[in-house]
A and B are shown apart, each in its own frame.
Chain A
Amino acid sequence: MYAPAVESEIKTVVQQAIEKHGYGHDALIPILSEVNHALGYIPAEAIREVKRQLVYPGDGTFVSQGQLYGLASFYDMLATQPRGRHVIKFCENAPCHVVGGKAIWDALRETLALENGETTADDKWTLLTTSCIGLCSVGPVLLVDDDMYGNVTVEQIPEILRSYE
């Protein structure tokens, strides 16, 4: 799903994002989020493309690459590096921590042989921690792509991972 993006694809994705969210300043974050979602991350070429395409009709370019990169690097959900085909996000915040989150986190790192932010050699998995997703009462919690898993136990982990074969 997240194969390295080809140039023509980047062009279309950026174009569609701009069409959907408009040319205004307030559209920058929605546009970048859209690109991030479509490509799995925001490649440098996509930033150039957004800059190229984002012009006020008749008014010339109005956003710099630096400004766009500044946004992409500031917000956690926007990635500037490629990620694996499946992204695991583990909640390591206090409420999950006190109900046994640590054991799950260790088991994940061990099973995948990854540390936080790393991607497996076969580009299948990326392991990340996430900010609290508000599912504290069913903690420990993890996300695989958009799927949520609550009340996770160490025993369930192989089973969960297997379902993404």
Chain B
Amino acid sequence: MPAIKSLEELKRVREEALAKKQMKAASGNIQVIVAMGTCGIAAGARDTMKSVLNYIETENLSGVAVTQTGCIGMCEQEPILQVVIGDQAKVTYGKVNAKVAVQIMKQHVQGGLPLKDHVLPI
């Protein structure tokens, strides 16, 4: 990325970033987002993340993007994991340990059915 040298370029870069963001939703991709703030990590988010990545590898899943985000502000529910399928609304799960993560991957990411027990009301 060459440095932005004008306001027009800045505008274009923003549009591109927006486009990329909307593309993620539009192309039917699945995003799995793990909250990896320090509070999340202390509550075991690294294990959750590992478990998600492992599952994707062993099941050979494609079209699933795993990303991270900061603390979402419900620390008592950490580790927190979110699933976004295509342009559907984001589903946020609380207290997702490695085991629950596997269940979510199986039932929600692969099966399309959210795991009611762990969904947070936000």
A binding-site residues for B, Cβ under 8 Å: 133-135, 137-138, 141, 148-151
Specify which chain A residues have a CB less than 8 angstroms from the CB of B41 in the assembled complex: 148
Q: Offer 6 A-B interface pairs, CB within 8 angstroms, sorted by A.
A: A137-B39, A137-B76, A138-B42, A148-B38, A148-B41, A148-B42
Tell me whether B43 is interfacial, beta carbon within 8 Å: yes
| 5 more CB-based (< 8 A) A-B contacts, given A137-B75, A150-B44 | A133-B38, A135-B39, A138-B39, A138-B75, A149-B42
B50 to chain A, nearest CB (A): 14
Specify which chain B residues have a CB less than 8 angstroms from the CB of A150 in the assembled complex: 39, 42-44, 78
Interface centre among B41, B42, B76, B78 (most CB of A within 10 A): B42
Specify which chain A residues have a CB less than 8 angstroms from the CB of B76 in the assembled complex: 137-138
The residue of chain B having its C-beta at the shortest distance from the C-beta of A148 within the complex is B42
- Interface residues contributed by chain B, number (CB under 8 Å): 9
Specify which chain A residues have a CB less than 8 angstroms from the CB of B43 in the assembled complex: 138, 150-151
What 9 A-B pairs have minimum CB-CB distances, sorted nearest first? A137-B75, A150-B42, A148-B42, A150-B43, A135-B42, A138-B43, A138-B39, A138-B42, A135-B39
A93 to chain B, nearest CB (A): 15
A90 to chain B, nearest CB (A): 13
B98 to chain A, nearest CB (A): 15
- B residues 51-108 with Cβ under 8 Å of A? 75-76, 78
Specify which chain A residues have a CB less than 8 angstroms from the CB of B39 in the assembled complex: 134-135, 137-138, 150
Contact with A along B34-52 (1 / 0, CB 8 A): 0000110111100000000
Specify which chain B residues have a CB less than 8 angstroms from the CB of A148 in the assembled complex: 38, 41-42
Give the CA-CA distance A68 to B44 in the complex, in Å: 38
A104 to chain B, nearest CB (A): 14
Give the CA-CA distance A151 to B78 in the complex, in Å: 10
B18 to chain A, nearest CB (A): 33
Give the CA-CA distance A138 to B37 in the complex, in Å: 12
A142 to chain B, nearest CB (A): 9
Specify which chain A residues have a CB less than 8 angstroms from the CB of B42 in the assembled complex: 135, 138, 141, 148-150
B14 to chain A, nearest CB (A): 32
